[in-house]
Amino acid sequence: MQQIIRMKRIFLSVITMTALSYAGSSQVKASLTAKIKTPTIGCELCKTRIETYLDRYDGVTYVMVNWRRKETTVKYLTERINIEEIKTAIANAGYDADDVTANEDSYKRLPKICKKPEDGGPAKAPNIHSAPPPVKTQ
Protein backbone atom coordinates (compact mmCIF):
# COMPACT_ATOMS: atom_id res chain seq x y z
CA MET A 1 0.00 0.00 0.00
CA GLN A 2 2.80 2.39 0.90
CA GLN A 3 4.49 1.61 -2.38
CA ILE A 4 1.35 2.54 -4.36
CA ILE A 5 1.08 5.88 -2.55
CA ARG A 6 4.77 6.57 -3.23
CA MET A 7 4.31 5.73 -6.94
CA LYS A 8 1.32 8.08 -7.16
CA ARG A 9 3.36 10.92 -5.62
CA ILE A 10 6.19 10.37 -8.06
CA PHE A 11 3.78 10.24 -10.98
CA LEU A 12 2.03 13.45 -9.87
CA SER A 13 5.39 15.15 -9.34
CA VAL A 14 6.49 14.29 -12.88
CA ILE A 15 3.21 15.57 -14.33
CA THR A 16 3.45 18.79 -12.30
CA MET A 17 7.05 19.43 -13.39
CA THR A 18 6.15 18.84 -17.02
CA ALA A 19 3.20 21.23 -16.83
CA LEU A 20 5.26 23.94 -15.11
CA SER A 21 8.09 23.72 -17.62
CA TYR A 22 5.62 23.95 -20.50
CA ALA A 23 3.88 26.97 -18.93
CA GLY A 24 7.22 28.69 -18.32
CA SER A 25 8.43 28.22 -21.87
CA SER A 26 5.23 29.60 -23.36
CA GLN A 27 5.88 32.95 -21.67
CA VAL A 28 9.15 33.66 -23.48
CA LYS A 29 8.93 37.15 -24.88
CA ALA A 30 10.09 37.92 -28.42
CA SER A 31 13.22 40.03 -28.34
CA LEU A 32 15.20 41.68 -31.13
CA THR A 33 18.62 43.28 -31.36
CA ALA A 34 19.08 46.37 -33.49
CA LYS A 35 22.13 48.39 -34.47
CA ILE A 36 21.31 52.07 -34.92
CA LYS A 37 23.66 54.55 -36.57
CA THR A 38 24.14 57.50 -34.25
CA PRO A 39 26.49 59.78 -36.24
CA THR A 40 26.36 62.76 -33.90
CA ILE A 41 27.75 61.04 -30.79
CA GLY A 42 31.41 61.48 -30.08
CA CYS A 43 32.36 61.03 -26.42
CA GLU A 44 31.72 59.14 -23.20
CA LEU A 45 29.25 61.80 -22.07
CA CYS A 46 27.13 61.23 -25.19
CA LYS A 47 27.32 57.47 -24.56
CA THR A 48 26.19 57.85 -20.95
CA ARG A 49 23.36 60.20 -21.87
CA ILE A 50 21.90 57.82 -24.49
CA GLU A 51 22.30 54.69 -22.35
CA THR A 52 20.70 56.37 -19.33
CA TYR A 53 17.86 57.77 -21.45
CA LEU A 54 17.04 54.43 -23.12
CA ASP A 55 17.28 52.45 -19.86
CA ARG A 56 14.14 54.28 -18.71
CA TYR A 57 12.00 52.78 -21.49
CA ASP A 58 9.85 49.74 -20.76
CA GLY A 59 10.86 46.95 -23.11
CA VAL A 60 14.49 48.00 -23.61
CA THR A 61 16.58 45.22 -22.08
CA TYR A 62 20.12 46.17 -23.17
CA VAL A 63 21.83 49.28 -24.52
CA MET A 64 25.46 49.63 -25.60
CA VAL A 65 26.72 52.78 -27.30
CA ASN A 66 30.00 52.64 -29.20
CA TRP A 67 30.82 56.30 -29.75
CA ARG A 68 33.96 55.53 -31.76
CA ARG A 69 31.95 53.56 -34.33
CA LYS A 70 28.99 55.92 -33.96
CA GLU A 71 26.67 52.98 -33.36
CA THR A 72 24.13 52.07 -30.69
CA THR A 73 23.15 48.44 -30.08
CA VAL A 74 19.76 47.91 -28.45
CA LYS A 75 17.98 44.72 -27.38
CA TYR A 76 14.27 45.15 -26.85
CA LEU A 77 11.03 43.26 -26.34
CA THR A 78 8.88 43.56 -29.45
CA GLU A 79 5.65 43.34 -27.44
CA ARG A 80 6.48 46.52 -25.52
CA ILE A 81 8.45 48.80 -27.84
CA ASN A 82 9.47 48.99 -31.49
CA ILE A 83 12.55 50.23 -33.32
CA GLU A 84 10.94 53.50 -34.40
CA GLU A 85 10.11 54.37 -30.78
CA ILE A 86 13.73 53.68 -29.82
CA LYS A 87 15.05 55.91 -32.63
CA THR A 88 12.63 58.63 -31.58
CA ALA A 89 13.83 58.29 -27.98
CA ILE A 90 17.45 58.78 -29.10
CA ALA A 91 16.35 61.82 -31.13
CA ASN A 92 14.52 63.16 -28.07
CA ALA A 93 17.80 62.86 -26.15
CA GLY A 94 19.34 65.24 -28.72
CA TYR A 95 21.12 62.86 -31.12
CA ASP A 96 20.49 61.68 -34.69
CA ALA A 97 19.41 58.03 -34.98
CA ASP A 98 19.53 56.49 -38.47
CA ASP A 99 16.99 58.50 -40.48
CA VAL A 100 15.47 60.27 -37.45
CA THR A 101 17.05 63.67 -36.79
CA ALA A 102 17.65 65.00 -33.31
CA ASN A 103 14.92 66.92 -31.55
CA GLU A 104 15.92 70.58 -31.92
CA ASP A 105 15.08 71.61 -28.35
CA SER A 106 16.88 68.60 -26.86
CA TYR A 107 19.92 69.24 -29.05
CA LYS A 108 20.09 72.86 -27.86
CA ARG A 109 20.16 71.64 -24.23
CA LEU A 110 23.15 69.32 -24.82
CA PRO A 111 26.46 70.37 -23.26
CA LYS A 112 28.77 72.18 -25.68
CA ILE A 113 31.12 69.18 -25.80
CA CYS A 114 28.28 67.05 -27.21
CA LYS A 115 27.38 69.40 -30.06
CA LYS A 116 28.46 69.38 -33.69
CA PRO A 117 31.48 71.52 -34.69
CA GLU A 118 29.29 73.92 -36.68
CA ASP A 119 27.33 74.61 -33.48
CA GLY A 120 30.39 75.37 -31.36
CA GLY A 121 31.33 71.81 -30.40
CA PRO A 122 34.82 70.30 -30.74
CA ALA A 123 36.06 69.74 -34.29
CA LYS A 124 38.47 66.84 -33.76
CA ALA A 125 38.36 64.28 -36.58
CA PRO A 126 37.46 61.47 -37.22
CA ASN A 127 35.20 61.74 -34.18
CA ILE A 128 33.27 64.91 -33.61
CA HIS A 129 34.96 65.18 -30.24
CA SER A 130 37.06 63.06 -27.96
CA ALA A 131 36.49 61.58 -24.53
CA PRO A 132 37.18 63.84 -21.57
CA PRO A 133 40.77 63.63 -20.29
CA PRO A 134 41.36 61.24 -17.38
CA VAL A 135 41.22 62.74 -13.91
CA LYS A 136 44.68 63.07 -12.35
CA THR A 137 45.03 61.94 -8.76
CA GLN A 138 47.83 63.14 -6.55
DSSP the chain: -HHHHHHHHHHHHHHHHHHHHHHHHTTPPPEEEEEEE-TT--SHHHHHHHHHHHHTSTTEEEEEEETTTTEEEEEEETTT--HHHHHHHHHHTT--BTTBPPPHHHHHHS-GGGS-GGGTS---SSSSSPPPPPPP--
Q: What is the pLDDT of residues 69-116, one digit of tens each?
A: 999 999 999 999 999 999 999 999 999 999 999 999 999 999 988 888
Q: What is the pLDDT of residues 28-58, one digit of tens each?
A: 678 999 999 999 998 899 999 999 999 999 9
Domain locations in the chain as residue ranges: 31-119
Is the domain spanning 31-119 CATH 3.40.1190.20? The answer is: no
